[in-house]
Structure 1
Amino acid sequence: MKINWGTGIVIAFGLFMTFILYFVFEVQSNSKYDNDLVVEEYYKHDTHFQEEMARIQNAHDLQHKPSIKYIENGVKIVFPSNFQEDKVTGNVLLYRPSNKKFDFNTQIVLQNSSLFIPHNKLVKGRWDVNMEWQYNGIKYLSKEVIYVN
């Protein structure tokens, strides 16, 4: 039986479509491929965007800003010395973009104008640090990216 070029093209398209569909179904049904969204309830999170931008602007407008740094034995968050420790409230979310199982939240409890997160709570790699805090009734949001060695 002889196959002309038109039939060959149709067969090639059919095989290609079967190949692509196989991989789509494989990725969707196999649990080893993680298809989760980065943020749970994405649309609900997005509705508070303007409020979040206002808090980021508040933090940006500060003359003396808190600093978030990775040092050899952990993450150190240092607030300016002119802030009263008992008036700073909030929490720090350490977010791991590659795996949400490592994400954790820490309340801000200052000692000597700083907060320390020990190295044993952190895995090597990239961490997004989102610090939501309040001082004298004004809400702030500071975001930093750190890399743990």
Structure 2
Amino acid sequence: MKINWGTGLVIAIALFMSFILYFVIKVQSNSKYDNELVVEEYYKHDARFQEEMERVQNAHDLKQKPIINYTSQGITIVFPESFTLNQITGTVSLYRPSNKKLDFDTPISLSNPTLLIPKSKLVGGQWDINMEWQYAGKKYLTKEPIYIQ
């Protein structure tokens, strides 16, 4: 049987479409290729964008800012000595961009100027730290990515 160029072209297109369809189905059905949003309620989060920018600007305008570091014990957040510790409230949210199941929040409760998030709660890789906090009635938001080895 002889195949002309038209039949060959149709066969090539059909094979290519099958190849692409195979990979689309494989990626959608395999949990290894999880493609979920970083934030659950993305549009609700986006609606509060202006408020968030004001809190980020408040944190940026501080003369003495909290310092976020990675140490051998874990992540330390050091608040300036000039702050009254019992007036600082809020939460520290750690987001793992690659795995939503590892995300967690830690309330800010200080007895000394340093807040420690133990290394035992953290796995290696990229983490996004969002610290939403209040001091003396003013709201602040500090965002910082950190890489843990």
Question: What TM-score does the superposition give when structure 1 sets the normalisation length?
Answer: 0.94
**What residue in structure 2 maps to residue 132 of structure 1?**
132
**What residue in structure 2 maps to residue 84 of structure 1?**
84
Alignment of 1:1-149 (within 5 A): 1-149=1-149
Tell me the distance in 2 between the aligned counterparts of 1:144 and 1:25.
36
- Deviation track 1:81-119 (CA, whole Å, cap 9, x = no partner) reads 111001100000011111111111001011321111111
Q: Percent identity?
A: 68
- Deviation track 1:53-91 (CA, whole Å, cap 9, x = no partner) reads 111111011111001100111111001111100110000
Unaligned segments of structure 2, at least 5 residues:
none
Deviates more, 1:91-100 or 1:24-33: 24-33
RMSD (Å), alpha carbons: 1.2
Tell me the distance in 2 between the aligned counterparts of 1:143 and 1:31.
29
Tell me the distance in 1 between the aligned counterparts of 2:106 and 2:119.
14
User: Which residue identity is paired with 2:63?
Assistant: Q
Tell me the distance in 2 between the aligned counterparts of 1:31 and 1:75.
30
- Give secondary structure in 2 for the equivalent of 1:25: helix
Tell me the distance in 1 between the aligned counterparts of 2:145 and 2:126.
7
Aligned residues: 149
Tell me the distance in 1 between the aligned counterparts of 2:4 and 2:50.
61
- Deviation track 1:2-60 (CA, whole Å, cap 9, x = no partner) reads 11222211210111011111221222233443121111111111111111111111101
Question: What TM-score does the superposition give when structure 2 sets the normalisation length?
Answer: 0.94
